[in-house]
Amino acid sequence: MRLRNITGSRERIAQSSYVVQEPHKWRGRWRELFQNRNAIRIEIGMGKGKFLHTLAAENPDINYIGIEKYSSVLLRAIQKMEEEELPNLRFIRMDAEELTEVFGEGEVDRIYLNFSDPWPKDRHAKRRLPSRQFLERYDKVLKPEGRLEFKTDNRALFDFAMDELPEAGWKAEAVTYDLHHENEMLSGNIMTEYEEKFSAIGNPICKYIIYR
Ligand code: SAM
């Protein structure tokens, strides 16, 4: 997702207390930032943040961190926090490639990827968030019993993501190719902005939950 560049968005993000300004400094110490020992769950490529904001409001005993590359998009998530402030939700503006520099070994309890950019050209496969290169990064920051959840309506990207699992040493705990008609996996589902848009036009939503 890239929104029109919004003048001053970088400056507003730099001043926002909802955005962790120097995330590398918190590596291994994120619980100090939240001032509790609750589990930390992250969404990578959060977009405007609806999914994570809803989750954080429903689960005050879990800490959530949304990671987003673009300032103009992150600004929307900040605006939502200004309307309804949540102590257990914070944001980082960065490229997910830096993940292991920002989170220590096993520091994260769960990772969410929602409607990740497909990067359709083969030569860009390693930029796809469910690629083996990214799974290797997730392996480092996710605690041993942690889980990663991925949703998309892009069947080609989902097939790619499934093929990457054995290559990277991950296993599927649950898989569906039509989440909205799979009652067990749908239970407790929180729709993302993209999920609302694409399910409304009839696209089936694929989802996996994986572990290693
Ligand atoms: N997750 C949201 C949803 O489901 O509505 C947004 C989906 S949007 C298609 C993908 C988002 O991921 C965009 O906002 C994009 O900027 C962000 N993104 C893509 N690659 C990223 C990366 N390497 N690091 C951080 N954010 C990334």
Which residue shows structure tokens 């998309």? 152
How many angstroms separate the CA atoms of 72 and 173, rounded? 35
CA of 208 from ligand 1 middle (Å) equals 18
* pLDDT tens-digit map of 58-93: 999 999 999 999 999 999 999 999 999 999 999 999
Provide the residue type at 138 as one letter. Y
**Which of 90, 94, 69 lies closest to 81 in space, CA to CA?**
90
- Decide whether any atom of ligand 1 lies within 6 Å of the 96 Cβ: yes
**CB 111 within 8 Å of CB 41:** yes
* pLDDT tens-digit map of 122-136: 999 999 999 999 999
Q: Is the pLDDT of residue 5 over 90?
A: no
CA of 2 from ligand 1 middle (Å) equals 9
User: Hey, how many other C-beta atoms are within 10 angstroms of the C-beta on 170?
Assistant: 20
Q: Which of 64, 65, 129 to mutate to test the pocket of ligand 1 (most atoms within 8 A of CB)?
A: 129
Helices 71-83 and 50-58, interaxial angle, to 10°?
30
Beta bridge partners of 150: 113, 208
CA of 11 from ligand 1 middle (Å) equals 21
Positions annotated as catalytic residues are 117
The pLDDT score that the predictor gives to residue 8 is: 79
Average pLDDT over residues 45-53: 98
The pLDDT score that the predictor gives to residue 163 is: 98
- Decide whether any atom of ligand 1 lies within 6 Å of the 69 Cβ: yes
